[in-house]
Structure 1
Amino acid sequence: MKARLGLNSTTSHRPPSQDKPWMPKSERQKTGRSSGAQPGHSGKTLKMVDHPDEVVTLRVRGHCGCGQAWDSIPVSDELARQVLDLPEIRLHAVEYRAQVKVCPTCHHREQASFPAHVPGQVQYGPRIHGLAVYLNAVHFVPFKRTANILEAVCGAKLSDGTIALSLNVAAERLTAFETELKAALLNQPILHADETGSKVNGKLNWIHVVSCQQLTLYGHHEQRGYAALKDMDVLPRFQGTVIHDAWSMYFQLPAHHALCNAHLLRELRYLAEGHEQTWAAELRSAMQRVYHANKAGILTSEGRAVFLQQFDALVHLGLETNPMAPSFFGQRGRVKQTRRRNLALRCQRHREAILRFLGDEQVPFDNNQAERDIRMTCVKRKVSGGFRSAEGGMNFCRIRSYTSTLHKQGMNLWHGLVSIFRNDILMPNFS
């Protein structure tokens, strides 16, 4: 019980937000460098623009001390200072007037056609819709607060229904993007996967992520298991390497597997500190040493062989230290084992997946890529809660797939979202 109460983000899968404020937050080793920017860092500073939009000339007025009027003296030099600010933001109304003509001979009436993006009597333009989606889906601002921001900044009084319509239209028009995204993910050598909870009208659902360095796909599903992966239609067809956190459903996939060793280090730390398992402490230290040596490029083949022997010996010691729990007469089903033995068994059964980073330089040590991509869902949960419908969750995931992919490739999110409502979508690079 004492060990369970002592669980935190450094010894389990518990998020850092639930830690006590004085708990350490990172497994990183100290480098000895000072905090802040390092030597050679270019830095950022506010710079003057070459072509200002407006120039205000400040004239010298009055008279010199000798009595000479300054107005009669030519200018010898000018000193410049600039103020960079936003222009006044307000709705820009464009009225389209379609001409109507009647033939004087046959009295046929002909009318000019309105543009395709002007279907109704009055409608908002692509920038307003894009800004509403940007606030709600990218920055997790709830509907009511999104409407308040738009009204305060530019005088647009959007209803909740209009904001929901903007999200629906954006998600529908991004269908082709999602299709190309899935095809591009299937061509990647390595993918990262993770999942986290998401509420729909108070009921627990799940958001899944499949990603790499340049692409991100989110999916929303009522289940956490294999049905969600099948619905996303990527991992069940993927033949490369999937990096995940050892959740059992991932092992049903036909791909090669690599496990997140950041999770393993936390669990080993828990066993070492909470249960005084010396094998766990030694294995954790050995994993850290070989990781840093491999990352620095100083791990030799002899050093790798020594580590592999040490890994097998420590896992075997872990199984001996934590023997199988006995079964009782008449007991049915599988006997529940201790957490200590289960971790040692996982290291034995999934040895290849745990140590894949040593044999393939493309495989990272951890699953931080997926962790970073899924973290935004936890932020949304804290800021604006869950979704009102399953459709809202799916729309959110499709839009986030688009904005996350644009962000990873250094493309402008604002231009991308506005392009959706202009029906000329800015597509990322899928090659």
Structure 2
Amino acid sequence: MTLTSGPIVTGQVLWRRVDDKLVSDCVTIDSVPCPTYEQLADLIVAQAAELARLTAHLTKLDAHIARQDARNAELERQLAANSRNSSKPPSSDGLGKPAPKSLRTKTGRKPGGQHGHKGDTLRQITDPDEVIRHEPLSCTGCGEGLTRATEVGVVRRQIFDLPPETIHVTEHQLISRRCHCGTSTRADAPAGVNAPVQYGPRVSAVMVYLYMGQYLSKAHTAHALSELFGKPVSAGTVSAATARAADDLGEFRTEVTARIIASDVVHFDETGFRAVGALHWLYSASTSLLTLVTCHRRRGREAMNAAGILPAFTGIAVHDAWSPYDTYPQLTHALCNAHLLRDLIAVVDHHQAYADDPRSWCWETESHRLFDGDQRPHRYSCEACRSGVVGRASAFDCRRRPHQSDSVPAREGRAETSGVGPTDRGADRGLSEVRGRSARLGLGPG
């Protein structure tokens, strides 16, 4: 602004130029003194400082609100997490368990076995253990006896049943004889005959099968055998039989370990588990035929090395992208699609529940935020595709679920070659069975 040489009136102050300087003549109204130039300058400086302070405070408040919004969103996400959209187990859903929602689309096929499916059914055999003939007593037409009538046909009906179950007791008598020299010598007992009274290998095998194979508790196993065979069986007997069986599995475990290591694809999973009053960790390595579950007091590479699979395995490892798997550089990684789908479902559920406009979301941005910049899922998917063992996936309706990139392994049920399953549910299934036993025994998962 250019000042003239004449007087300038602003408010209660008359300003005029003297020697190229602006000076004021104070005009007093109601005995209020006019501020000096220096006072006004100080006031402007003070107001500028206050404005800067308030601006900085507002910036801090904005940052604080953003942090609070992010925290609230995270808490809301945790509240909405369940077994469908996170890694939480179904037992954690409680009474508010969400209704199951399938990701599969309708195919138009009828439920049940499809055309060409080879079913399994009970069929007659040619050499039954027992044949019982049933003769008609009299003719249904005239009432005459049929003792000497000609046989013109037979209808065969077979019943498959268990024979009467009874305990077969075998007594081993160890004979002692005295030599003419006066020494008495007793015969040696057969292998496995160690006590005056004991259960034989078949009953012990049934104990271990019900306890470990069918996951009955020790008490239920003992009770079932007592009722089936009419002989007393205690929980301690079941424990002793299981311990003996475990001691005999060294060679078997070595063979299973070697076969899993030699496989092209192995599925891995891990979970917490309480044992001997403390938290331990279960590790599962499985193929379509074999599963090895090991227990260790530590979590991480030490336990994985102790299991004996990952240090020597050089094939495709399907897992949940837990970071210790990255410490084995010889592996080809494949991300478990079950985990990926749960994470993407969580993105959709959270946005639809809390976003202002549910139609405006971008799943790529949200999933990148979900993984916090973690590129391992994308890298694992690319490794599996480059290996030529996982087929590409087709995109599906973005309104219902996110698009799946061509670099991501095929959806469940869509893997195309080499028998690579898209999920690690085979490994998880073995752990689930052990966790189920833990829950039934009141131990609870780790």
Q: Give the TM-score band, short-chain normalised.
A: 0.5 to 0.7
2:173 alignment partner, SS class = coil
Judge conservation of contact 1:243–1:259 (CA < 8 Å) in 2. Answer: yes
1:196 alignment partner, SS class = strand
One-letter identity of the residue aligned with 1:355: C
Judge conservation of contact 2:269–2:427 (CA < 8 Å) in 1. Answer: yes
C-alpha distance 87-228 of structure 1, shift in aligned 2 (>3 A)? same
* Alpha-carbon displacement from aligned partner over 1:88-119 (angstroms, at most 9, x marks no partner): 1111011223444455x556645443321222
User: Is 1:245 matched with 2:320?
Assistant: yes
Judge conservation of contact 2:217–2:437 (CA < 8 Å) in 1. Answer: no
Map 1:390-409 onto structure 2 (within 5 A): none
* Alpha-carbon displacement from aligned partner over 1:280-319 (angstroms, at most 9, x marks no partner): 9765xxxxxxxxxxxxxxxxxxxxxxxxxxxxxx4xxx3x
One-letter identity of the residue aligned with 1:354: S
2:340 alignment partner, SS class = helix
Of 273, 282, 286, the residue aligned with 2:349 is: 273
One-letter identity of the residue aligned with 2:260: L
User: Is 1:88 matched with 2:177?
Assistant: no
Judge conservation of contact 1:132–1:146 (CA < 8 Å) in 2. Answer: yes
CA distance in 2, matches of 1:43, 1:183: 33
One-letter identity of the residue aligned with 1:383: R
Q: CA deviation at 1:17?
A: 4.7
C-alpha distance 204-64 of structure 1, shift in aligned 2 (>3 A)? closer
User: Is 1:27 matched with 2:103?
Assistant: yes
Judge conservation of contact 1:260–1:354 (CA < 8 Å) in 2. Answer: no
User: Is 1:358 matched with 2:385?
Assistant: yes
User: Is 1:167 matched with 2:224?
Assistant: no
Instruction: State the match for 2:81 in structure 1.
Output: 7
One-letter identity of the residue aligned with 2:425: N
Instruction: State the match for 1:367 in structure 2.
Output: 424
Instruction: State the match for 1:341 in structure 2.
Output: 369
Q: CA deviation at 1:372?
A: 2.8
Structure 1 range deviating more: 153-162 or 45-54: 45-54
> What percentage of residue pairs aligned between the two structures are identical?
34
- Stretches of structure 1 that go unaligned for 5 or more consecutive residues are 284-313, 322-338, 388-431
CA distance in 1, matches of 2:261, 2:143: 82
Map 1:201-280 onto structure 2 (within 5 A): 201-256=276-331, 257-275=333-351
User: Is 1:378 matched with 2:423?
Assistant: no
Structure 1 range deviating more: 148-157 or 268-277: 268-277
Instruction: State the match for 1:125 in structure 2.
Output: 200
Judge conservation of contact 2:321–2:376 (CA < 8 Å) in 1. Answer: no
Q: CA deviation at 1:350?
A: 4.6
Judge conservation of contact 2:82–2:92 (CA < 8 Å) in 1. Answer: yes
* Alpha-carbon displacement from aligned partner over 1:124-158 (angstroms, at most 9, x marks no partner): 11111001101111111111111110010012312
- Stretches of structure 2 that go unaligned for 5 or more consecutive residues are 1-74, 390-417
Judge conservation of contact 1:133–1:167 (CA < 8 Å) in 2. Answer: yes
Judge conservation of contact 1:189–1:241 (CA < 8 Å) in 2. Answer: yes
2:432 alignment partner, SS class = helix
CA distance in 2, matches of 1:254, 1:228: 17
CA distance in 2, matches of 1:241, 1:65: 74
Of 51, 56, 63, the residue aligned with 2:127 is: 51
Q: CA deviation at 1:12?
A: 1.4
Judge conservation of contact 1:268–1:281 (CA < 8 Å) in 2. Answer: no
C-alpha distance 355-152 of structure 1, shift in aligned 2 (>3 A)? same
C-alpha distance 64-358 of structure 1, shift in aligned 2 (>3 A)? closer
One-letter identity of the residue aligned with 1:7: A
Instruction: State the match for 1:134 in structure 2.
Output: 209
CA distance in 2, matches of 1:41, 1:195: 35
CA distance in 2, matches of 1:211, 1:252: 20
CA distance in 1, matches of 2:99, 2:151: 64
Judge conservation of contact 1:196–1:377 (CA < 8 Å) in 2. Answer: no
C-alpha distance 275-106 of structure 1, shift in aligned 2 (>3 A)? same
Q: Using CA pairs below 8 Å that are at least 6 residues apart, which structure has the higher relative contact order? A: 1
Judge conservation of contact 2:291–2:427 (CA < 8 Å) in 1. Answer: no
Which protein is richer in helix relative to its size? 1
CA distance in 2, matches of 1:144, 1:55: 40
Structure 1 range deviating more: 250-259 or 117-126: 250-259
Q: CA deviation at 1:217?
A: 1.0
C-alpha distance 213-166 of structure 1, shift in aligned 2 (>3 A)? same
C-alpha distance 206-280 of structure 1, shift in aligned 2 (>3 A)? farther
1:213 alignment partner, SS class = coil
Of 196, 200, 223, the residue aligned with 2:275 is: 200
Alignment RMSD, CA only?
3.1
* Alpha-carbon displacement from aligned partner over 1:367-417 (angstroms, at most 9, x marks no partner): 233223322223223333449xxxxxxxxxxxxxxxxxxxxxxxxxxxxxx
Judge conservation of contact 2:351–2:361 (CA < 8 Å) in 1. Answer: no
CA distance in 1, matches of 2:201, 2:178: 34
* Alpha-carbon displacement from aligned partner over 1:296-344 (angstroms, at most 9, x marks no partner): xxxxxxxxxxxxxxxxxx4xxx3xx8xxxxxxxxxxxxxxxxx963515
Q: CA deviation at 1:179?
A: 1.9
2:236 alignment partner, SS class = helix
Judge conservation of contact 1:12–1:270 (CA < 8 Å) in 2. Answer: yes
2:373 alignment partner, SS class = helix
CA distance in 1, matches of 2:259, 2:370: 37
CA distance in 2, matches of 1:212, 1:182: 11
1:242 alignment partner, SS class = strand
